[in-house]
């Protein structure tokens, strides 16, 4: 099978700058790719890297695409280096779509899943939680590690009091805490309805291998010592890291951002192999990438079936590239996304 390959670059300003450890992130840059087979059937994919998460850069993805030429086959696509997880994701999703004759939904264990509402850091979370609750959300995630710990811990109880009965709150520290701060928080969380604490500590590659090993040991120790589940996000942003944490028997949750990880079918097989406790999450991609990421989420037959981490909409100034915010998503919602229309919008 030979495919005609084309790609288009995009730059989409965010509606609101995204706060990152590297300062404000103002616009999403990425690529849409299009493959077409001899019968004229087309499939689309998206390359949406986050280089400070350890993915390839956009330039690296473009160089690898240029290396494929205008016409390419499955062998060449499979041969793209593992380090280009975002490109592998895009091309595999496009190949899968070309081969999906009816374009219908995958055989799915999860027909409909709740979406976790993302609450802003600090006191603004309280009003946002009231609004999300009124909009029908049943799962919530709060960004922590931004204010002083004592102030946030007071807010935590105010916030929990506002959530619907039975709702569990996710906390995401984005690696902001020291081991000691994380322990203090986990003491606090032990008797409260906290679904999990995401990435309490993190060492970037630039901190060196020894610091990374120490942080990994801290994470394993915290997971062992406290009853609240921990989730890894920044730690598992690439295929190799995900595989290695699964092989080590990580006892907690794994935040899976499909857009960063490679071929969706391989990710699914890996998660199944280890009976992973996975939360599927956005990498702030457009609706094209989100469509493929959500198809993977709906195909996962994991026991926990946790709320989706896609509560980030509206994301872009140009709403055509967004998915409307919703407290629940079904596979039918996902099938309604038309990637061809977004491809044309970039012309």
Check residue 233 for interaction with Mg ion (CB under 5 A): yes
Helix H or strand E encompassing 8: strand 2-20
Known catalytic membership, residue 165: no
Set 143, 165, 229, 301: catalytic member: 143
Task: Give whole-number Cα distances, 275 to 159, 252, 262, 303, in Å.
Answer: 32, 12, 19, 8
**Which position's Cβ is nearest Mg ion?**
233
* Residue 97 or 233 with smaller CB distance to Mg ion: 233
Beta carbon of residue 172, minimum distance to Mg ion (angstroms, whole number): 4
Known catalytic membership, residue 143: yes
Set 131, 141, 229, 257: catalytic member: 257
* Residue 198 or 216 with smaller CB distance to Mg ion: 198
Q: Are 138 and 326 in contact (CB under 8 A)?
A: no
Site for Mg ion in 272-291 (CB under 5 A): none
Q: Are 4 and 71 in contact (CB under 8 A)?
A: yes
Beta carbon of residue 170, minimum distance to Mg ion (angstroms, whole number): 9
Site for Mg ion in 152-211 (CB under 5 A): 172, 198
The whole-angstrom separation of Cα 130 and Cα 115 is: 16
Q: For the chain, what is the radius of gyration of the CA atoms?
A: 20
Beta carbon of residue 7, minimum distance to Mg ion (angstroms, whole number): 28
DSSP letters, 143-182, are: E-SSS-HHHHHHHHHHHHHHSPTT--EEEE-TTB--HHHH
The whole-angstrom separation of Cα 306 and Cα 80 is: 32
**What angle do the packed helices 58-68 and 85-99 form, to 10 degrees?**
50
# of chain residues touching Mg ion (CB under 5 A): 3
For residues 145, 146, 149, 154, the Cα torsion angle rounded to the nearest 10 degrees is -110
* Residue 80 or 236 with smaller CB distance to Mg ion: 236
Stretch that binds Mg ion, among 229-237, 263-271, 291-299, 312-320 (CB under 5 A): 229-237
Stretch that binds Mg ion, among 154-162, 207-215, 232-240, 315-323 (CB under 5 A): 232-240
* Residue 60 or 233 with smaller CB distance to Mg ion: 233
Catalytic positions, please? 143, 257
Binding site residues, Mg ion, CB under 5 A: 172, 198, 233
């Amino acid at each position: 099978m030979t495919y005609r390959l084309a790609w288009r670059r995009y730059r989409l300003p965010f509606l609101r700058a995204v706060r990152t450890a590297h300062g404000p992130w103002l616009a999403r840059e990425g690529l849409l790719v299009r493959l077409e087979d001899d019968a004229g059937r087309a499939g689309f994919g998206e390359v949406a890297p986050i280089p400070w998460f350890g993915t390839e850069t956009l330039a690296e993805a473009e160089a690898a695409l240029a290396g494929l030429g205008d016409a390419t086959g499955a062998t060449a696509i499979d041969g793209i280096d593992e380090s280009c997880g975002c490109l592998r994701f895009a091309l595999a999703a496009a190949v899968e779509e070309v081969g999906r004759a009816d374009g219908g939904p995958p055989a799915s264990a999860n027909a409909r899943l709740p979406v976790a509402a993302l609450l802003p850091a600090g006191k603004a979370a309280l009003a946002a939680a009231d609004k999300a609750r009124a909009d029908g959300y049943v799962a919530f995630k709060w960004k922590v590690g931004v204010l002083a710990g004592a102030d946030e811990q007071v807010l935590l109880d105010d916030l929990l009091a506002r959530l619907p009965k039975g709702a569990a709150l996710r906390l995401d520290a984005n690696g902001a805490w020291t081991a000691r701060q994380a322990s203090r928080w986990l003491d606090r969380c032990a008797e409260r309805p906290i679904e999990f604490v995401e990435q309490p500590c993190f060492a970037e590659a630039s901190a060196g291998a020894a610091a990374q090993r120490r942080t990994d040991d801290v994470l394993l120790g915290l997971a062992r010592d406290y009853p609240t589940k921990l989730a890894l996000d920044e730690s598992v942003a690439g295929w190799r890291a995900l595989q290695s944490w699964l092989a080590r028997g990580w006892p907690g949750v794994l935040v899976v951002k499909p857009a960063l990880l490679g071929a969706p079918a391989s990710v699914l097989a890996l998660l199944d192999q280890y009976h992973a406790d996975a939360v599927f999450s956005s990498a702030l991609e457009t609706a094209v990438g989100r469509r493929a990421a959500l198809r993977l989420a709906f195909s996962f037959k994991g026991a926990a079936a946790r709320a989706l981490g896609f509560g980030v909409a509206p994301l872009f100034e140009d709403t055509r590239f967004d998915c409307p915010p919703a407290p629940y998503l079904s596979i039918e919602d996902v099938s309604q996304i038309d990637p061809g229309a977004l491809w044309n919008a970039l012309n």
